[in-house]
Homo-oligomer: A and B are copies of this chain.
């Protein structure tokens, strides 16, 4: 991970991830451990013509002290000036670039779980969520290797090894990574449009431990690849992105499914998770580790045990090919086909389908794809159409 590689990565995130335009302000949210990349992002931002690059460093260990020793009302508190900062980037039609990593394993061990759960700055998050829903900013996330994250994956702080995986997922080895990502975005656009056109009534997943039918909403869209702001600026939210996804009919999931990768949830590791659905609802949860964490999350609200998302990823995914579980959704959800219980994406639904898109406070992605899992589309007439075989895309 030398300066040149970081500069290349930063340029990619700025040029494609938010597709920064001359005169567009750039907000960077990162952790103190991400400083080497942040400095390259600032450089890339000014080179692309940002009038100002505004960096905010968070610190998970400061958050830990807050959860451990702060008064109740401080946990989850959003300082008004941070809310204002997020509002202002919307007013400026700016860009928001977040750097992510998985925290050190056990960082929050021993702390009150309710306080951990409340420790996000909800008001800042809500302003950002509303800006995104309104197409008011271009935004993306990219990963950065930290010692803690590398330890979670490899059992040792091999930051360089994690960096190689991140760089590979970001296609930094391509002659022109920027061009490669616009091409990838186009490919996913076309694949999503094709799925939308096909208008399947349901998807069927079958493989070891899995026999799952997910009812779809005709008239709803699939999405993949780049997004557009309200004023038409195209950008690729999240580097890497390998998935196409939609929100299914929350009432029509049936059968059982076995997770194909471990799931990191609330600081716990859930292994060999198996879910059984009846009338759309998760009615049984089993796992060799962490089943209770899932069960507790499913109790968050009435709609939590219903699906909000189903996503398809083929074997060309760089993340999937790495064979690595990153313990971070930014990567893991791009490794393989997945479903998410909890809230769905209203923006993908037609007006008459709006009530059939799930709505909940949670959204947890769960990998269910693998070479040995077949995926079929089922038409309204009951015809089965192969979509994925041995993780190879079968449709046009």
**A38 contacts B by Cβ under 8 Å:** yes
**A85 contacts B by Cβ under 8 Å:** yes
A43 and B66 alpha carbons, distance in the complex (Å): 8
Pick the contact of A38 from B35, B47, B59 — CB < 8 Å? B59
- Nearest B residue to A23 by beta-carbon distance? B71
Binds B, one of A76-84, A252-260, A311-319, A321-329: A76-84
Q: List the number of copies, as a whole number.
A: 2
**A62 contacts B by Cβ under 8 Å:** yes
Main secondary structure of the interface of A (DSSP, over half): helix
**A73 contacts B by Cβ under 8 Å:** yes
Chain B residues with CB under 8 Å of A47's CB are 69
What is the number of residues of chain A that contact chain B, defined by CB distance less than 8 Å?
A: 35
- Nearest B residue to A73 by beta-carbon distance? B51
CB–CB B84/A70 < 8 A: no
A73 and B25 alpha carbons, distance in the complex (Å): 13
Chain B residues with CB under 8 Å of A283's CB are none
* Contact flags A20-48 to B (C-beta < 8 A → 1, else 0): 00000000000010010011001100110
**A74 contacts B by Cβ under 8 Å:** yes
Given the contacts A52-B77, A81-B82, A81-B85, A43 and B65 also touching, CB distance less than 8 Å: yes
Chain B residues with CB under 8 Å of A59's CB are 35, 38-39, 55, 57
23 A-B residue pairs with CB within 8 Å: A32-B32, A32-B35, A32-B57, A35-B61, A39-B59, A42-B65, A42-B66, A43-B65, A46-B65, A46-B69, A46-B71, A51-B74, A52-B77, A53-B62, A53-B74, A54-B79, A55-B59, A57-B59, A80-B84, A81-B81, A81-B84, A81-B85, A81-B88
